[in-house]
Amino acid sequence: MDANQTDAAISVRNISKHFGDFRALNNVSLNVRAGERVVICGPSGSGKSTLIRCINRLEKHESGTIHVDGLVLDDSRRSRDAIRAKVGMVFQQFNLFPHLTVLENLTLGPLRARGKSPEEARELAMRYLTRVRIPEQAEKFPRQLSGGQQQRVAIARSLCMEPQIMLFDEPTSALDPEMINEVLEVMTELARSGMTMVCVTHEMGFAKGVADTMVFMDHGEIVETAPPATFFTTPATERCRDFLRKILRH
Amino acid sequence: MKHAFLFAALAFLLGGCSGDWGWYVVDPRTTTGITNLKFLLGGLWYTILLSVTAISISVVVGLLVALPGLSQYRVLRAFNRVYVEVVRSVPILVLILWVYYGLPPVTGITIGIFWSGVIALALSDSAFQAEIFRAGIQSIDKGQYEASHSISLGYADTMRFVILPQAIRRILPALGNQLVYMLKMSSLVSVIGMQELTRRANELVVSEYRPLEIYTVLVLEYLVLILIVSALVRRLENRMKADDQR
Ligand SMILES: Nc1ncnc2c1ncn2[C@@H]1O[C@H](COP(=O)(O)OP(=O)(O)OP(=O)(O)O)[C@@H](O)[C@H]1O
Ligand SMILES: [Mg+2]
């Protein structure tokens, strides 16, 4: 194992993934340092979700290697569980548990997977609910909240597991425009606190303000990796220029 | 409303029958009538006990058979298919006879009438329960599993705290149907001598020679029992729905 794999928070090396005959990821490599904020963008179907879902084993990569915090991600349950313990994930559709209250959504993981006492779990939950600015919603059910509030609960639920790395898969794409900002604010604040983050998003304002590294994907490949300053001003490839022109027009 | 209709029907039968009908066998104003009615109604307890015990077992077995049916492993799915197809193909009556007369010579253990009935009813129902659970669990969004995995919940915790509570709400109407079905099917256990509603009616008919009246009472017994159970199930469903809309 070389230095670059052990130091990195996430090290993805030459991974590929097929769905049937369709090649969703083709020889993709990505390094994320501890504390780094990476924003991934690219056209629909380019493999963005597939890539970050491979990192916490919601999808299984076929070839290549993935290391998270120095641990290799292989077929063993031990490796998968150890890595999931370090990685939190926020989904486009929130995926809150509809039959549980907000508080129960947040305490379930700490209680069952971390062996916390009910008091500890509750305290943890209230701390993160306060951090996403909705402590007053603790006793409500998810469907009683707005989309923006639900997504903030989902972020708090992930944070309650005290992860070292957070993955975001288009966290604002399912939201009404007026609710996007409240979620982006919470994410920006999380970035300031030093969390290692990999965000798939097309919110370019957020990307410019927060990202250390921009990644552009197309057809299952990483086409371009650059700091935002160069990425937005002088994209190296025609494909990336095209894409940026299209989404920045809005 | 329903009850008014029932009593009207009963009154019609009682009234239009003076000659050929012999309601005296179940006339509560006579001692024989009272004794007979008590005998008939005494079967109610066994019908309920038999059905409730059987369905409690079949729900658990059904769930245990449904889970392998959702596995990614082909062998486990095959087990589920074979179990469901085989058990579902055997008529309940045949299963009752087979368990009561067939199992003791095979296993060397004699099983009483009650438990033979319970085993046969539970076994038969478990195949349907397995299908109900499988459909219910499959109806839960994939995102619920992914969220559970992302917060490090294992298979057992994911099922117990996330998937099953949601699945059970969705299959509650189907489970209610199965209970009603079970109450009716328990009448078949009369063939091996279980003293439930149907058996008692049969026995009384043999001694009193009044099949029409006695079986009419039997029909009414099942009707009232099942209307009550249906109402209870519906009330439970509504309560859950109200919970959901809080
Ligand atoms: N479970 C699956 N089965 C079959 N094909 C899949 C599956 N998941 C993804 N794909 C396909 O793989 C390709 C890449 O999907 P992916 O979800 O990673 O794209 P994406 O970049 O996240 O796109 P979007 O912006 O639409 O979310 C798509 O063409 C998609 O149809
Ligand atoms: Mg996607």
Whole-prediction pTM = 0.89
Interface predicted TM-score of the whole assembly (ipTM), two decimals: 0.94
Cβ(A150) – ligand 1 distance below 6 Å: no
Catalogue all structural domains in chain B, each as residue range(s) with its CATH number.
Answer: 22-244 (1.10.3720.10)
pLDDT confidence of residue B108: 86
8 Å CB contact of B151 and A91: no
- Using DSSP's 3-state secondary structure scheme, residue A1 falls into coil
8 Å CB contact of B149 and A109: no
Name the residue ranges covered by the structural domains of chain A: 3-248
Closest Cα in chain B, distance from residue A52 (Å): 12
pLDDT confidence of residue B14: 60
Average pLDDT of span B131-145: 97
CA A44 vs CA A37, A91, A173, A217: distances in Å: 22, 16, 12, 10
**Whether pLDDT at B242 is above 50:** yes
Mean pLDDT of chain A: 94
Nearest CB to B149 within list A84, A108, A144: A84
Indicate which atom in ligand 1 lies nearest the CA of residue A53. Answer: 18
- pLDDT > 90 in chain A, percent: 94
Does the beta carbon of B28 lie under 8 angstroms from any beta carbon of chain A? no
- State in Å: Cα A169 to ligand 2 middle: 6
**Whether pLDDT at B18 is above 60:** no
DSSP H helices in chain A: 3-7, 48-55, 77-86, 102-113, 118-131, 147-159, 177-192, 204-210, 228-233, 238-249
Q: Does domain A3-248 have CATH number 1.10.3720.10?
A: no
